[in-house]
Amino acid sequence: MSDRLAVLPQYLLPKQALTQLMGKLAGLEGGSATTAVIRWFIQRYKVNMSEALEADPAAYKSFNQFFTRPLRPGVRPLADADWVCPVDGAISQLGRITGAAGDQIFQAKGHHYSTQALVGGNAALAAQFAHGHFATIYLSPRDYHRIHMPCDGRLTRMIYIPGDLFSVNPVTARGVPGLFARNERVVCVFENEDGPFVLTLVGATIVGSMATVWHGQVNPPRPGTIKEWDYAPGQVTLKKGDEMGRFLLGSTVVMLFPKGRLSFNPDWSPTRAIRMGEAMGSRA
């Protein structure tokens, strides 16, 4: 079966209604029933609970508490690198932002999308990453779902962009054109001494919400329109390795870097499993 045919049912599903329902269920505190669901999930997806700060499934009052569980101190040491991986997951794609205008991000064979589309149509913001680099990291259900800073950064802007709620697994990435620029997402723009960089949190089917440490839950509500927040210099400053956000039921992170600022770890390649804190790259 082709990837396009495999994802056809997703076009027909009531994805937003399903996501809202699952979000509510994941937040319920159901006692033994919640614990049973968590135990099933751990077994089904082979979740490594030995790394969790609280390894006992019964300690979590809701599925959301379990899904966003913190890790034990020391299990994700930060590499001695200029840029470290912000999440656990697998590399979907990475490399140069290409095209005549330097604005095309490679999604999968046969599919590209533009930096301007990713950031909600803001041409001036997208232009800062012309001919730069990108990395797309997929978080599977078994992964740790908190997102950390790849380097020190000062937050300048956050943009909520409404959109679809397709799955973001590899099959869907191959079968849905412009997937990461059409799904709901939160674009976080930072600056440091190397210039601007972007961390984009991409939503997906049954991703009940996305949150950042400075704002809290960004969605829901889902107003259906783009919303922006600007931050004064020094208002939100985070260090390399600090938590910056989290997914409530998993998804994808897309990062953008300006031209000539980053050289990726040569060991990084598509489909490679990665962990938060490992070396992502160095200054070019």
Q: Which residues belong to the active site? A: 88, 148, 251
Q: What is the DSSP string of the chain?
A: --HHHHTHHHHHS-HHHHHHHHHHHHH---THHHHHHHHHHHHHHT--GGGBSS--GGG-SSHHHHHTPPBPTTSSPPPSSSEE--SSEEEEEEEE-BTTTT-EEEEETTEEEEHHHHTTS-HHHHHTTTT-EEEEEEPPTTS--EEE-SS-EEEEEEEEE--B----SHHHHHHSTTHHHHB-EEEEEEEETTEEEEEEEE--TT--EEEETTTEEEESS--SS-EEEE--TTSSEE-TT-EEEEEES--EEEEEE-TTSEEE-TT--TT-EE-TTSEEEEE-
